[in-house]
Structure 1
Amino acid sequence: MEEAAAGAGAGAALEVVVFPWLAFGHMLSFLELSKRLAARGHAVAFLSTPRNLARLPPVPPHLSPRLRFVSLPLPRVDGLPEGAESTADVPPDKIELLKKAMDGLAAPLAAFLADAVAAGRRPDWIVHDFCHHWVPPIAGGHGVPCAVFIIVYATFMAFLGPRSANAEHPRAATEDFAVAPRWIPFPSTIAYRRRSEAEWIAAAFRANASGVSDMDRVWRLFERCRLAIYRSCDEVEPGMFALLADLFQQPVVPAGILLPAVIADGDGERPETLRWLDNQPAKSVIYVALGSEAPLTPGILHELALGLELAGVRFLWALRRPSGMFSAAIDAVTDDDLLPAGFEERTRGRGLVHTGWVPQVAALAHGATGAFLTHCGWGSTIESFASGHPLVMLPFVLDQPLVARDMAERGIGVEVARDEGDGSFDRDGVAAAVRRVTVDEEGKALASNAMKLREVLMDQGRQEKYIDDLVEHLRRYRGCC
C-alpha cells in the first residue's frame, strides 16, 4: 500500500466523496475503497451519520491527512427507533423506514456540496451506494459526476437487470425468479431456487414504506451515473463485467476484492476468541458466523446449535446480537434462551460461542481454522477467499443464495439441505453439511479448490492494478456531468 502511494504523482490528486448506505457491510466496503484511494494520494471525504462514523474502525495514521469523515444528521422518521442509524439498529420490517430517513439526507448533502464548491474544493466525484437515487440530480446541479459502488455480488446485478430488459421480459410471478433471466446470453444455473428466496427478490420490485421500490432506486441510479464500480474482479466473476457494461450501457470497473488487512494485536490484550483458537489443533475448527443482519429466529439458532453438536467437530461461533436486528421474536428472549438448554456445557472444550465482537478476518486467517459456516454475504465470502477455506453455506436473502449456488458449482462449498418452499432446515441437515466439508473425503477436494482460488486472488500486484485502473477511469470520466 505504501508503494501505491508513490504512484499518485502520475496525475493530479482527485477529490472524491464517498457516501455508503447505512449498513456496516456497506460502510466497511466503502472504507476499504477510501483507504486505497487515500494511499494513492487522493483526498477522500467519507459521509455518514454521527453514530455510524463513531462505530467505524480507526484509519491508519498515515492515511488520516487524506481521509476525513463528514457527519450528516439523520432526520427523524415516525416509527424508526430512537437513535437508529444503521440496519444493525432496527428489525427487518423497519429497514424501509431507514431508507426513508436516508432520503432525508438530501438537503444536508446539498449543503455540503455547496460549501465545498464555495471553498474552491469542488469534488471530482461522488461515489455512492445502491439506494441514493436522489444524489445524481443534486450532484449534477454542482457539476459533480457520480459513480455507483456496488458492494454485492456482481452477478446479482446482472440477474436483476436494467429497466429496459425487465420491460422486454417482465417478471411478475415468484416462479419467474426461479430461473436465470432471458438476458443472460450464456448457460447459467444462477437463480433463486427456493420459494422463500424468490419471494424476497420479487418484493424488491414493489414500492415499500419509503415510497420507492429498491429496484426503482437502482434503475434511477444506473440511468444517471457515469460509472459503475464493483467490489469484485475478473478472477472471481469472469465475463460478468463485459455483460454488465452491455446491459446497463455504461463503463463498468471492477475494483478488486478490497480485502481488509489483518490488524495486529499491538499492545492490547489478545481477543478471547483468538486465544481460544491458539489452543486448538491446526485446521480443526469450523468458524461460524451469519453476519449481523440475517433474519434469525430462536428456532433457527437452536437447529444450528444442535447441528453443530451432532456433527461432533470443533467450532467457534460468532453469535452476534445487534440491537433489534434479529427480529422481534428473538428480542423477546434473553441471551440464555438463544441456545438450547445445556448446549454450551455439552460442547465445552471443543466449542466456543461468543456473543460479542469477533475479529473475523483474523479468526479466518488463524491456523486452527479449517472451514467456514457462512450466510454467504459477499463481504464474508471475500474474506473466506483470502484464507482458502471450504464453505458450509446457509444463505438467506439478497445476493446470498446466488453466491451459494456459484460457490457450490465451483466445488468450494456445500449448502445445508433446506425445504424448497419455506427454506427451513434442521439439525441433521446442518450436521451432514458440516461433516461433508470437515470430516468426509469430499472435504479434501473442497479445500483444494478453495486454496486454488486463494492463490489467484492473493496476487497483490493484480489486486492493486484494479485500483490503479479505477483511478484512471475516475480521471478519464471526471468533468462536466
Structure 2
Amino acid sequence: MAGDQQQEEARRAAPLHVVVFPWLAFGHLIPFLELSKRLAARGHAVTFVSTPMNIARLPPVPEGLSGQVRMVALPLPAVDGLPEGAESTADVPQEKVELLKAAFDGLAAPFANFLAAACAGGREQAGFGRRPDWVVLDFAHHWLCPIAEQHQVPCAMFLIFTATATAYTGSRRQNVSHPRVTVEDFMPMPRWFPSPPSLAFRRHEAAWLAAATQLNASGVADTERLWRTEERCRLLVVRSCPEVEQPRVFPLLQELYSKPVLPAGLLLPEDGRCESDGDRAEGSGVVARSGALQWLDEQPPGSVLYVALGSEAPVTPASVHELAAGLELSGARFLWALRAPSAAAAGTPPLPDGFEARTRGRGAVCAGWVPQVRVLAHAAVGAFLTHCGWGSVAESLRFGHPLVMLPFITDQGLIARMMAERGVGVEVARRDDDGWFGRDDVAEAVRRVMVGEEGKTLARNAKRLRESVVGDDSGRQELYVDELVQCLQRHRFT
C-alpha cells in the first residue's frame, strides 16, 4: 500500500505538458507567454498555440527555455470584411474586432486536429511526446472545452484581468438572479460585491461593458463566451494577487464560480524584451529604444513623466491634441511613447503645430515601439501617465511609480479607481457621458502627481504598494506560480 502511494505521489509530481492558447490580442498573448515561460522554467513542457503572424511578432523565448516551449501556428480562416493579414486586435479598428472573433471561432476544427494528434502520446512519456495534461485557455474559447473533454484533457481559464473585474462580471448564476439591462445598471459594482462607492464605472465606460452582453457579428456575445468557457473549466487562474486587490475578492470569486480560483501573480516580464501592449516594431524599435533611454540619461532623477496609452486605446486626433496641449501646459518633463490614432492617416497631424519645438529640452516624443519596462526602470522616471491597462499598471507597480490615469475601455476605469483608492494615482477629469477631456484636465492631473505635497504623498504610497506587492525581489510573486503548478499537478486527470 505504501509503495502504491509513493508511486502515485511520484506520478502526480511528474513534469506536466500544458497547452496554452490565448485570445488574439497582445494584451492577452504577452501574459500567456509570461505564464508559459514560468512553467517552462520549472521543467514543464508548454505548447503555445496561436496564429502564424502573432507567433512571429512575439518576443523570443529565452534560449535556456526554448527546449521547453514550442510554438504551434494554426492558420486563421478568412472572414468577409476582415482585412487580409489581420490576426490580432492590433490589426483592426475596434468595430471589426467582432469579425476577428468570428474568424477565431473557425479555429475549432484545426485545434481539434492538433489536440487529437497531441493526445496520441501516452501519459508516461515526457516532454512534448506526453499527451497534454491541461489546456490553459482564454475567455473567448467557448468551443474548446468540448473538444478537450473528448480527449479527457481538463481545461483551466487564465484571466488576464484583475480579480475585482472578474468579480464585477460574475458568473451566469449571479447575472440571472440580478440582471443588468440598462447602461446605468452596469455603472456600480454588482450586489454580490460590496465595495466602496468610488469603485464604479463612468457612464461612457458602462456603455462599453453593456455592449459586451449583446450579440455581435461572431454570433456570440462576449459575456456568453466567458460563461460558456468558465462553466466547463476545472480551475480559474487570475493574473493578480491578494496584495493589490481588496482582501476578500479571491474568496468571493471561489463563491461566485464554485471552483478553485488561484492567483498567478502579476507575471511581470524580466526586462524590456517583453512588453504588455502591442508587438515588437523590429524596424523602428531599436531606434526608439536607443533614443528614449539616451534622452532619459540626460534628465534629473525622478523628474520625468512617462506617457504611454498602449497600442489599442481608442484615441482620436482630438484627444491626442488635448493630451499634448495638457502636457505643454503642465510644465512637466515628459517622455511620450506616441502611437498615432488611426484617423491621422486621413490627414490630421498627429501633434499640434509647433508642439515638439515648444517643448524641446523638457519633452521627447518617440513614435513606434518603446521598451516600456526599461523606461519605467530608469532613474529619471518619476511617474507614469497610463491608459490603465492592467499590464501597464502591473509593470508600474514593480517600480513604485505614482500614476496619472486616463482610462478608455474594458476594465481600465475600474483599475483607475482601484489605484485611486490605494492613494497611488490621480485620474484625469472627464465628462461622464462621452469621456471627453480637455487640456486643462490633463495639466491639473499631471501637476498634482508631479509637483507639491500631494505628489510626494502619492509617491510614498506607490513605494509602499510596491513593497507590499513585489518586495525586494520577484520571489514573492514567483510563489504564486509555484502554488499554481502544485494545483495543476493535483487536479490533472489520472
TM-score, normalised via structure 2 length:
0.91
For residues 441-460 of structure 1, what are the structure 2 equivalents within 5 Å? 441-459=453-471, 460=474
**Residues 152-207 of structure 1, C-alpha deviation per residue, up to 9 Å, x if partnerless?**
11111111111111111111011111222111145553221x22111111001111
**Residues 233-268 of structure 1, C-alpha deviation per residue, up to 9 Å, x if partnerless?**
011112211101100111001011111012489xx8
Match of 2:187 in 1: 178
Match of 1:465 in 2: 479
Of 117, 120, 123, the match for 2:119: 117
Given that 2:136 and 2:158 are in contact with CA atoms closer than 8 Å, whether structure 1 keeps it comes out as yes
Match of 1:235 in 2: 243
> Percent of aligned pairs with the same residue?
64
Unaligned runs of 5+ in 1: 1-7
Give, in angstroms, the shift of residue 9 of structure 1.
Answer: 11
> In the aligned structure 1, how far is the partner of 2:14 from the partner of 2:203?
51
Q: Which residue identity is paired with 2:16?
A: L
> In the aligned structure 2, how far is the partner of 1:24 from the partner of 1:198?
23
The 3 A distance-change label for structure 1 pair 275 and 112 is: same
1:380 to 2:392 alignment: yes
> In the aligned structure 2, how far is the partner of 1:151 from the partner of 1:331?
32
Given that 1:180 and 1:189 are in contact with CA atoms closer than 8 Å, whether structure 2 keeps it comes out as no
> In the aligned structure 1, how far is the partner of 2:219 from the partner of 2:273?
45
Q: Which residue identity is paired with 1:406?
A: M
Match of 1:252 in 2: 261
Q: Cα RMSD between the aligned structures?
A: 1.7
Give, in angstroms, the shift of residue 331 of structure 1.
Answer: 3.5
Of 136, 141, 151, the match for 1:127: 136
Match of 2:127 in 1: none
Match of 2:365 in 1: 353
Match of 1:410 in 2: 422
Instruction: State the SS of the aligned residue for 2:61.
Output: coil
Unaligned runs of 5+ in 2: 1-9, 123-129, 275-285
Give, in angstroms, the shift of residue 79 of structure 1.
Answer: 0.3
Match of 2:315 in 1: 296
**Residues 376-425 of structure 1, C-alpha deviation per residue, up to 9 Å, x if partnerless?**
00000000001100000000111100000111111100000111111100
> In the aligned structure 2, how far is the partner of 1:69 from the partner of 1:440?
50
Match of 1:13 in 2: 15
Instruction: State the SS of the aligned residue for 1:424.
Output: coil
The 3 A distance-change label for structure 1 pair 349 and 187 is: closer
Given that 2:12 and 2:490 are in contact with CA atoms closer than 8 Å, whether structure 1 keeps it comes out as no
Instruction: State the SS of the aligned residue for 1:96.
Output: helix
> In the aligned structure 2, how far is the partner of 1:67 from the partner of 1:247?
34
> In the aligned structure 1, how far is the partner of 2:316 from the partner of 2:272?
32
Given that 2:34 and 2:267 are in contact with CA atoms closer than 8 Å, whether structure 1 keeps it comes out as yes
The count of residues paired between Structure 1 and Structure 2 equals 463
Of 124, 147, 155, the match for 1:146: 155
Q: Which residue identity is paired with 1:403?
A: I
34-43 or 113-122, which deviates more: 113-122
**Residues 430-461 of structure 1, C-alpha deviation per residue, up to 9 Å, x if partnerless?**
00000000012200000000000111222322
> In the aligned structure 2, how far is the partner of 1:10 from the partner of 1:315?
52
> In the aligned structure 2, how far is the partner of 1:20 from the partner of 1:264?
19
Instruction: State the SS of the aligned residue for 2:198.
Output: coil
For residues 28-43 of structure 1, what are the structure 2 equivalents within 5 Å? 28-43=30-45
> In the aligned structure 2, how far is the partner of 1:439 from the partner of 1:174?
37
Match of 2:3 in 1: none
Match of 1:477 in 2: 491
Of 307, 312, 327, the match for 1:308: 327
Q: Which residue identity is paired with 1:360?
A: Q
TM-score, normalised via structure 1 length:
0.94
> In the aligned structure 2, how far is the partner of 1:220 from the partner of 1:412?
36
The 3 A distance-change label for structure 1 pair 122 and 9 is: closer
For residues 263-342 of structure 1, what are the structure 2 equivalents within 5 Å? 263=272, 271-321=290-340, 326-327=341-342, 329-333=343-347, 337-342=349-354
Instruction: State the SS of the aligned residue for 2:102.
Output: helix
Given that 2:322 and 2:439 are in contact with CA atoms closer than 8 Å, whether structure 1 keeps it comes out as yes
> In the aligned structure 1, how far is the partner of 2:362 from the partner of 2:161?
34
Instruction: State the SS of the aligned residue for 2:301.
Output: coil
Q: Which residue identity is paired with 1:466?
A: Y
Of 75, 78, 86, the match for 1:76: 78
Q: After the TM superposition, which segments of 4 or more aligned residues of structure 1 sit over 6 Å from their partners?
A: none
Q: Which residue identity is paired with 1:204?
A: A
**Residues 327-383 of structure 1, C-alpha deviation per residue, up to 9 Å, x if partnerless?**
4x334236xx01001101111111111111100000001000000000000000000
Match of 2:99 in 1: 97
Instruction: State the SS of the aligned residue for 2:452.
Output: coil
> In the aligned structure 2, how far is the partner of 1:364 from the partner of 1:9?
43
> In the aligned structure 1, how far is the partner of 2:239 from the partner of 2:88?
21
Match of 1:4 in 2: none
Given that 2:189 and 2:195 are in contact with CA atoms closer than 8 Å, whether structure 1 keeps it comes out as no
Match of 1:3 in 2: none
Instruction: State the SS of the aligned residue for 1:140.
Output: helix
**Residues 278-330 of structure 1, C-alpha deviation per residue, up to 9 Å, x if partnerless?**
11110010000001110111000000000000001110000124xxxx44x33
1:160 to 2:169 alignment: yes
